[in-house]
Amino acid sequence: MLSGISCRNIVKRYRRGAERIEVLHHLDLDVAAGEFLALMGPSGSGKTTLLNLIGGLDRPDEGEIRVAGTAIGGLPPGALSTWRARHIGFVFQFYNLMPTLSAARNAELPLLLTPLSREVRRRRVSVVLDLVGLGAREDHKPGQLSGGEQQRVAIARAMVADPDILVCDEPTGDLDRQTADEILRLLQLLNQRGKTVVMVTHDARAAGHATRILHMDKGRLAPPHAAGNA
């Protein structure tokens, strides 16, 4: 299960003043390689905290997380950054694009720290921009693109290093319904091409594009139920 995810007995706490708040309570989760999982739940339920742990942006206080075959909790910071760059692609609600760079240059950013030649980098960028339907707009800057097109650039950026797993935090939360559905169909396409997708969303219609839905509440997972593809 190379690109699968296994979380065991995960506890995460944060300090608020003198108080220690436990956000995740001995949580277990398995995500199969090639699955499209939607995590739903109210604000403060721990969804984004769990997503950040899976993506290696944070570490649990207790328990073990294995992602893409690696126990990531014990990796030193440099090794964790290298692992994350290779295995995880991040897609967020707010696209975090560099406003002065073209779509192509934004998509290329994750490759600038790799030993790949400029020619190889540009070739990869061309492939992912074509995949998200923006091959003809590679020279446009974010201000010249619609919200949906900007999110497509963000997805291209997430895909350019060919990661095993996409972690998506409210990827359609800032989009109108038609554009949101287009982005969700794109995530489905990437999933059908073998990418494992874990998506946090408040939107039941968005979650319906996943192959499985889990609900979180107060740092725990509710019993699972299946989701039909939209």
Which two tokens mark 222?
């509710």
pTM, two decimal places: 0.88
Mean pLDDT of the chain: 90
CA distances from 171 to 12, 118, 149, 154 (A): 24, 29, 12, 10
Angle at 27 between CA 35 and CA 4, to 5 degrees: 25
Summarised one tens digit per residue, pLDDT across range 24-60 is 999 999 999 999 999 999 888 999 999 999 999 999 9
Which band of pLDDT confidence, cut at 50, 70 and 90, is reported for residue 226?
very low
Give pLDDT, residue 114.
Answer: 83
Question: Which pLDDT belongs to residue 57?
Answer: 92
Q: In order of start, what are the domains of the chain with their CATH numbers?
A: 35-48+81-224 (3.40.50.300)
The CA radius of gyration of the chain, in Å to the nearest whole number, is 17
| Torsion, CA 183, CA 185, CA 188, CA 193, rounded to 10 | -100
Write the pLDDT tens digit of every residue in 71-83.
998 899 999 988 8
Collapse the DSSP code of 21 into the 3-class scheme (helix H, G, I; strand E, B; otherwise coil) and give the result.
strand
CA distance to 4, 32, 72, per residue, from 69 (Å)? 7, 12, 9
| 210 Ramachandran zone, left/alpha/beta (phi>0; psi -120 to 50) | beta
Residue-wise pLDDT tens digits, 102-131: 999 999 998 987 888 999 999 999 999 998
